Amino acid sequence: MSGDQYMGYRSPLSSRYASKEMQFLFSDQNKFSTWRKLWIMLAKAEKELGLEINDEQIAEMEANVDNVDFEAAAAEEKLTRHDVMAHVHVFAKLCPKAAPIIHLGATSCFVGDNTDLLIIRGGLDLVLNRVAGVISRLSEFAREYRSLPTLGFTHLQPAQLTTVGKRATLWISDLLMDERALRRCREDLCFRGVKGTTGTQASFLQLFDGDGAKVRALDKKVGQLAGFGKCYPVTGQTYSRKVDLEVVSALAGLGATVHKMCSDLRLLASRKEVEEPFESTQIGSSAMPYKRNPMRSERCCAIARHLITLQANAANTHATQWLERTLDDSANRRLTLSEAFLSADAILLTLLNVTQGLVVYPKVIERHIAQELPFMSTENIIMAMVKAGGDRQVCHEKIRVLSHEAGAQVKEHGKDNDLVDRVRADPYFAPILTQLDAILDPKTFIGRASEQVEEFLEEEVAPVLGKYKDHLKGLKTVQLSI
């Protein structure tokens, strides 16, 4: 294989991270083949509405949809400085009979914008299926560990107990909001259709001799041929870049969700409570062979940060579009739209791999609880003593003194928390010693966490996953190539 491929820049999104399906959506082959499909749709609709276009011309175009001569198109574009006209010329040479009617009445944005909308629709479908896959796997995880107590954290300090499964529902809840936002983008997406150079459809009105009803019908028919139920009713030369902003914002929101979840996993991995999958041949560090770095979660965070920044790019592009259109959106959108979808695809593929192989270490979690639970149980000990006839204020002072002594052992001497041993050794607490094991049972500190998991999965998650049941049936284990 020639080494020339290594002499120029290649995006890591295409060479390392994103799926082949998403890469194909944004490929030149798909882009330019779609342009040709749109010219065919336009010709079919114009023929149906009475323009002089014949079946032979349409058949000639259909026979050459995927036969794209990229070198010839590049040579034409170098001469014309216009990408659409370069491809019109190349396509016309392949289709001499159809040449007179290719791109008839259309402006460049007919193929450019409509193709982008088709790609966005396909990208949203891929992303939504991947989000559903992650939600499905996390739901299984949440149900499996719904009752396993673990330390909760506020301010990154140990707080009241929760469960491993309940914590997972917090991640799922965010993903459900992302699914909703992305699905709304998908449902609201319309086609640009045939609108002409400034959105007035003037060129098509001329083609149809002033028959506005036919022009309106043409717009609708082309949209239907492309699989859209509706075209945007008004546009400038382009569809509003607010559409891009809505889509990229939803993808950026997904990035924030993934970053938060994977940051949590990295924190839990540092405590050796929960780990992402680690392959038998995987090397954690070139210098420290014992390390098990959470590299998948770190990758998700890294790419998610890039995805989050793209929202501002889309917002600025929309904000700076002048009047009916200015071309300074074009080069920017080539970067922003593709990278937003490829980034989302990459983090979801990686996250699905992570969630399919999460490892929980209950004994480590139990040990961490044991280090903190004695302090958390002090109020319960006081209440038990009061029920046994003790004075609350006296008991409170006893517990306060013993807690500070135990705290000193932990903080100053690096020893285990021995508060319970101190309570057992103090004769004052003799009336409740038989109750201590029950008082210190972690499962009595998790509230309704287990029930919340079941209710959440049944009432909130199941209806959403029901929309993706066909996809989820065929969901396979994700293997990362790198």
Active site residues: 155, 285
Can you list the positions of beta strands (E) in 266-400? 274-275, 359-360
Are 347 and 263 contacting, i.e. CB atoms less than 8 angstroms apart?
no
| Residue 103, C-beta contacts closer than 8 angstroms, at least 6 positions apart | 39, 42, 84, 88, 110, 111
Q: Distance (Å, rounded) from C-alpha 206 to C-alpha 423?
A: 94
264, two tokens: 């949590």
Are 134 and 175 contacting, i.e. CB atoms less than 8 angstroms apart?
yes
Residue 190 backbone class (left: φ over 0; alpha: ψ -120 to 50; beta: rest): beta
Q: Distance (Å, rounded) from C-alpha 356 to C-alpha 138?
A: 8
SS3 108: helix
| Residue 155, C-beta contacts closer than 8 angstroms, at least 6 positions apart | none
Are 372 and 393 contacting, i.e. CB atoms less than 8 angstroms apart?
no
Q: Distance (Å, rounded) from C-alpha 250 to C-alpha 343?
A: 13
Cα→Cα distances 283→11, 273, 278, 295, Å: 25, 20, 9, 10
433, two tokens: 């010693």
185, two tokens: 């983008």
Are 153 and 195 contacting, i.e. CB atoms less than 8 angstroms apart?
no
Are 313 and 332 contacting, i.e. CB atoms less than 8 angstroms apart?
yes
**Exposure on the CB side of residue 213, measured as CA atoms within 13 A:** 1
Cα–Cα nearest to 126, from 375, 354, 345:
345
In DSSP terms, 163 is beta-bridged to 149
Residue with token string 């100053």: 412
Helices (H) and strands (E) in the chain, counts: 21, 4
Q: Distance (Å, rounded) from C-alpha 117 to C-alpha 109?
A: 11
Are 107 and 192 contacting, i.e. CB atoms less than 8 angstroms apart?
no
Can you list the positions of beta strands (E) in 165-260? none
Are 439 and 455 contacting, i.e. CB atoms less than 8 angstroms apart?
no
